[in-house]
Structure 1
Amino acid sequence: MNPATALATVLVDELARCGLTDVVLAPGSRSTPLALAVHADSRIRLHVRVDERSASFLALGLARRSERPVALICTSGTAAANFHPAVIEAHESGVPLLVLTADRPPELRDTGSSQTIDQIKLYGAAVRWFSEVGVPEDRPGQVAYWRSLACRAFQRSLGPYDPGPVHLNVPFREPLIPDGDTSWCEPMEGDAAGPWVRARVASPPVALHLQPTRRGVLVVGDGATNVRRYVAAAGMAGWPVLSEPNGGARYGDHAMSAYHFLLGTPEFADRHRPEVVVTLGRPSLSRPLLNWLKHADEHVVVARDMTRWPDPTRSATQVAQEVEIPIPAGDDDWLHSWRRADTAARGAIDEVMDGAGLNEPRLARDLVDTLPNGSLLFSGSSMPIRDLDQAMRPRRGLRILANRGAAGIDGVVSTAMGAALSHNGPAYALMGDLTFLHDQNGLILGPREPRPDLCLVVVNNDGGGIFSLLPQAALRDPFERIFGTAHGVDLGYVAASTGTPYTFVNEPGQLSKALRGEGLRIVEVRTDRESNADLHAMMRDAAHGAIRALV
């Protein structure tokens, strides 16, 4: 057996023994040994994508939803560079990825050899661990090295407290395909009972015990863990819960769905300063919430990784891996005050949305209300996630995900596909037109590839709608060209180019029917950027007026 085939066979076998179930491959020549080894392993579900960036975000979506490492393979050269945005997102949001980049051997580097770049620590600090595997050699000791290396990479990616991407750079010399000889200088078999190295997770951390208080608040952002336990504890303590849609805690009687407007009303925010705030994950969507956090007497951040805790406002007073929220004595006036204001604000903004025909916040609200229990909703990171945050009513039975680690718009179609392929149930995605066009290659699926049950809902306002809500909108002369960026693309033709079923919606009552179906499909909803900006201002004014009437 030639060394390239031996290394690839052992590495893939050991990763499968560790628990690897999905591999995404972007085809190329130098990665041939890895591709053949994965293709031959029945324990692994293989996904092939012709575009490396699309492949990397597909792997990100698979790993994000499954919460298990997914391997990502490419050939040498700029193919590996195209993985970088997804690696950054995985790093920032704590998603376990195993990035296996094939490489030329050392003697071909710095010689002008084709498809050869410097791949050593290519992703810098955006990975949890990097290893240059080394060119495989036909000598004793290699099998133990490869198997232990695979176990270390898998476990380091998994965490458990700080999951994220791991990069193995794998140089191969030719020949790259099997030579018909199956002999090797030492036994290649692994441990019959499982992985070569069995990692043991440390005992649970000691929890921080808080002082009992009714004037507490639970804030939940992206990447939160143990959410249900903390929501239950907050409920027993009489605390309101302020959860971003992708935080997973916007359900039940304690969820304040209009918190963005409550905390944007100074009269309410000033009178509702908490004694303690407990934050799970990383909140990042609401500027009023972030400003309000700065004024909490005690701000406790719960973080799995004690070296990388989220604190964008620099207001954390304590950081702990676990927190115990005690049940305080006293009445529920604190919670009742939040509920009254939340109900008033919610009624005011619903009335504005319902009176404005088909609009972007209403689409986000109605989409959430319409989806069946057990659904997955993947959101774009620009306006759609903010519309969900401001318009979504509390509900159970829906999992919402978004790429909010680096909060970029790239790779959303592919990430949604990966998440849908890992989800046991129907999946949907909500995104803007620029986000959709940025990753339209994600629609390219070969006839033998696993196909997701995924409906892509695309809000088309012909450009970058979020800029119409920012100060840049006041720059009337340059705005449309350098921020608005109208594109004029007919999304129906984009769908047709890949044979993807397409539906156009222009009335609110058409949404429910348009969402029906199976497999990959697209629903387009057209809106107007300027009208959307005016509507958001009306929602804000109506909510603030309703809140001020109470305080």
Structure 2
Amino acid sequence: MNPSTAQAEVLVDELIRCGVTEAVLCPGSRNAPLSFALRRADSSGRIRLHVRIDERTAGFLALGLALRSGWPVPVVCTSGTAAANLHPAVLEASYAGVPLIALTADRPPELVGTGANQTIVQNGLYADAPRLSVALGVARRAVGQQAAWRTAVARAVGVALGRAGDTPGPVHLNVPFAEPLVPEVGPGAGDWPEPLAGRRGGMPWTVYPPSNHSTDPLPLDPAAPTLVIGGSVPTGSTPRLPPGAGFGAGAPVIAEPGSPLWPYALRTGPWLLGSVQADRLRPTQVLLHGRPTLHRSVSALLNDDRVAVYAVSGTVDAAGAGLPPSVRAVGMPPPLRPPPEWTGRWAGADLHASTALDKALVEPSTPLGIRLAAALVDALPDGALLTLGSSNPVRDVSLAARPRTGLTVFASRGVAGIDGSVSTVTGAALAHAADGGGPGYALLGDLTALHDMTGLLLGPDEPRPDLAIVVLNDFGGGIFSLLEQGGPEHAASFERVFGTPHGVWLEGLCAGLGVGYRKVRELSELPDALVPEPGVRVIELQTTRESLRSGHASLRESIDSVLG
């Protein structure tokens, strides 16, 4: 057997021995040894393989699989620009704390810098985004190097999981392959390496306790007015409610969708922080559980010099995503018992604001995105997965939906881009089903969906999730209508360079891709459209952007009026 084939077989075998159950592969020549090895493992039922023709799509599919499963998923590609296309997914994995393995094939080092086809400098390609970057040597013989190859893979898996003293995140394993790149056939081909029995129980390097998992008690005052704020947490973090958090246990909670605390959160928390009652509701302490990214009102509170901010150990990624500069300490909180009079203010304000919000949700003048978010969360069955796109969808759910149990909710909030969102939700739905979960759903904007339409391109032999992708199509970039550039003083420039109208016929795209499609014209039709069906389908709702800014302003006025 030639050395490249032997090396690839050993690498794949060790990934499986370390517990990897899913792998994503892109076609190519230089990664042919890994392609053959993965296909053999898939055929024997040792791993589930997903093949995609677009490396960026493949990277985000692996991200979604790892995000939901909490276990490393390798994405395998050929050399050159193929490897460069994994960079957006590696960045998202780094800042979101997701265990992704970028397994890139490379040319032998003697070909780098010679003008050889599809050859670039791949060592260090992703800069400081990976938790670990390892460049293997070229396999010059089929025997005698297997222990080193296995150690490199085991180390990569352990680091991705956060077992080497850091939070979970991506690793880069770069493997130069020399020709021949395909296995020999027929007499004299040699024996295939035998898979090693069993799983690894430990890792061959020292494991240090992560610095952000301190067990020290936080120096906060348990009896002070304390607000718990929940954001995204690194993959594998313990999704438990801090002691004394939540009404009935003590402190009020404001949490983003995707936070483990969201089911326990006040419904209108983000509205209240920016309301006319903000001064009366201001805490003296904030207990930060994860990394919030959505609302300016939350960011303003975390940067308020009058408020002491503490972070819950094990829920923040100090190395990757970073902590707000206002955080005074990271540790374990005591049970909280803030003043009943102050928590009563929060409870009353949330009740009044929710009443105003419910009234607005039945008004046609309220932006459709707000009304859709509330209706979608209410209508989903228990056990379902809901993955939210960046920009408006995740914000609409945060602002309008009633937090509930029974759902698994994810949002890509590491870098919070729209890259690869269709692929991410596909991977998450596949992993959710493999874990015994119910059907998958996603809520995306039209630009987010169009940015990754190749994520809907699944070959006939590829695993397919039961996934409904709900697309709110306002024919452009609705999020910008709500930002400074959406103000009337910028109207002359806005539509072309921020609104970016596209005029795409989504139904036609779905037909060409062989994906199911349904248009929902009224929200009353939504529950019927959400009934689980096998396969991937798109549910489209169309609206306009003209009244989006004024509709949000009107909703703010309605909430402030009942609070005032």
- TM-score between the two structures when normalised by the length of structure 1: 0.93
Matches within 5 A, 1:335-414: 335-356=343-364, 359-414=368-423
Q: 1:518 to 1:482 in 2, by over 3 A?
A: same
Matches within 5 A, 1:119-518: 119-138=122-141, 141-160=144-163, 161-180=166-185, 181=188, 183=190, 192-195=197-200, 198=203, 205-209=214-218, 210-223=220-233, 225-230=237-242, 233-235=245-247, 237-252=249-264, 255-265=265-275, 267-295=276-304, 296-304=306-314, 307-308=318-319, 313-320=324-331, 323-328=332-337, 332-356=340-364, 359-423=368-432, 424-474=437-487, 475-516=490-531, 517-518=533-534
Deviations 1:506-529 (A, max 9, x none): 111011111122320010001111
- Residue 501 of structure 1 deviates from its aligned partner by 1.0
Residue type of the partner of 2:518?
T
Matches within 5 A, 1:35-184: 35-41=35-41, 42-138=45-141, 141-160=144-163, 161-180=166-185, 181=188, 183=190
In structure 2, how many angstroms separate the alpha carbons of the residues matched to 1:51 and 1:57? 10
8 A contact 2:231–2:291 mirrored in 1: yes
- Residue 246 of structure 1 deviates from its aligned partner by 1.3
Residue type of the partner of 1:212?
P
Q: Aligned residues: percent identity?
A: 47
- Residue 206 of structure 1 deviates from its aligned partner by 1.9
In structure 2, how many angstroms separate the alpha carbons of the residues matched to 1:404 and 1:38? 31
Residue type of the partner of 1:289?
V
Give the SS at the match of 1:46: strand
Give the SS at the match of 1:100: strand
In structure 2, how many angstroms separate the alpha carbons of the residues matched to 1:80 and 1:309? 22
Give the SS at the match of 1:71: strand
Residue type of the partner of 2:98?
V
Residue type of the partner of 1:239?
A
- Residue 307 of structure 1 deviates from its aligned partner by 4.2
8 A contact 1:120–1:132 mirrored in 2: yes
Unmatched runs of 5 consecutive residues or more in structure 1: none
Q: 1:509 to 1:318 in 2, by over 3 A?
A: same
Give the SS at the match of 1:317: strand
In structure 1, how many angstroms separate the alpha carbons of the residues matched to 2:202 and 2:402? 47
In structure 2, how many angstroms separate the alpha carbons of the residues matched to 1:123 and 1:306? 19
Residue type of the partner of 1:347?
T
- Residue 179 of structure 1 deviates from its aligned partner by 1.7
In structure 2, how many angstroms separate the alpha carbons of the residues matched to 1:178 and 1:353? 62
- Residue 248 of structure 1 deviates from its aligned partner by 2.7
Residue type of the partner of 1:478?
S
In structure 2, how many angstroms separate the alpha carbons of the residues matched to 1:38 and 1:26? 11
Q: 1:14 to 1:311 in 2, by over 3 A?
A: closer
What residue in structure 2 maps to residue 544 of structure 1?
A: 560
Residue type of the partner of 2:503?
G
Q: 1:307 to 1:289 in 2, by over 3 A?
A: closer
What residue in structure 2 maps to residue 14 of structure 1?
A: 14
In structure 1, how many angstroms separate the alpha carbons of the residues matched to 2:183 and 2:355? 67
- Residue 456 of structure 1 deviates from its aligned partner by 0.4
What residue in structure 1 maps to residue 551 of structure 2?
A: 535
- Residue 205 of structure 1 deviates from its aligned partner by 4.2
Q: 1:377 to 1:132 in 2, by over 3 A?
A: same
Deviations 1:478-529 (A, max 9, x none): 1111001100011100110111111111111011111122320010001111
8 A contact 1:231–1:249 mirrored in 2: no
Q: 1:417 to 1:117 in 2, by over 3 A?
A: same
8 A contact 1:303–1:310 mirrored in 2: no
Could you tell which deviates more after superposition, 162-171 or 221-230? 221-230
Q: 1:454 to 1:105 in 2, by over 3 A?
A: same
Q: 1:303 to 1:439 in 2, by over 3 A?
A: farther
In structure 1, how many angstroms separate the alpha carbons of the residues matched to 2:361 and 2:302? 29
In structure 1, how many angstroms separate the alpha carbons of the residues matched to 2:59 and 2:519? 30
What residue in structure 1 maps to residue 30 of structure 2?
A: 30
What residue in structure 2 maps to residue 5 of structure 1?
A: 5
In structure 2, how many angstroms separate the alpha carbons of the residues matched to 1:306 and 1:344? 36
Give the SS at the match of 1:452: coil
Q: 1:488 to 1:275 in 2, by over 3 A?
A: same
8 A contact 1:250–1:257 mirrored in 2: no
In structure 2, how many angstroms separate the alpha carbons of the residues matched to 1:139 and 1:527? 61
8 A contact 2:301–2:307 mirrored in 1: no
- Residue 301 of structure 1 deviates from its aligned partner by 1.6
Q: 1:261 to 1:197 in 2, by over 3 A?
A: closer
Q: 1:310 to 1:438 in 2, by over 3 A?
A: closer
Give the SS at the match of 1:145: helix
8 A contact 1:236–1:327 mirrored in 2: no
Give the SS at the match of 2:413: coil
Unmatched runs of 5 consecutive residues or more in structure 2: none
Deviations 1:128-148 (A, max 9, x none): 111111110217641110011
Q: 1:196 to 1:283 in 2, by over 3 A?
A: closer
Size of the alignment, in residue pairs?
A: 540
Deviations 1:448-493 (A, max 9, x none): 0000110000000000001111111231111111001100011100
8 A contact 1:70–1:97 mirrored in 2: yes
- Residue 117 of structure 1 deviates from its aligned partner by 1.2
Deviations 1:62-90 (A, max 9, x none): 00000100011001110111111011100
Residue type of the partner of 2:267?
S
Q: Is 1:525 aligned with 2:541? A: yes
Give the SS at the match of 2:262: coil
8 A contact 2:231–2:290 mirrored in 1: yes
Give the SS at the match of 2:254: strand
In structure 1, how many angstroms separate the alpha carbons of the residues matched to 2:262 and 2:411? 15
In structure 2, how many angstroms separate the alpha carbons of the residues matched to 1:117 and 1:478? 40
- Residue 277 of structure 1 deviates from its aligned partner by 1.1
Give the SS at the match of 1:229: coil
Task: Report runs of 4+ in structure 1 exceeding 6 Å deviation.
Answer: none
Residue type of the partner of 1:228?
R
Residue type of the partner of 2:10?
V
In structure 2, how many angstroms separate the alpha carbons of the residues matched to 1:368 and 1:237? 25
Deviations 1:333-380 (A, max 9, x none): 222210110111111122122112671101001000000011111111
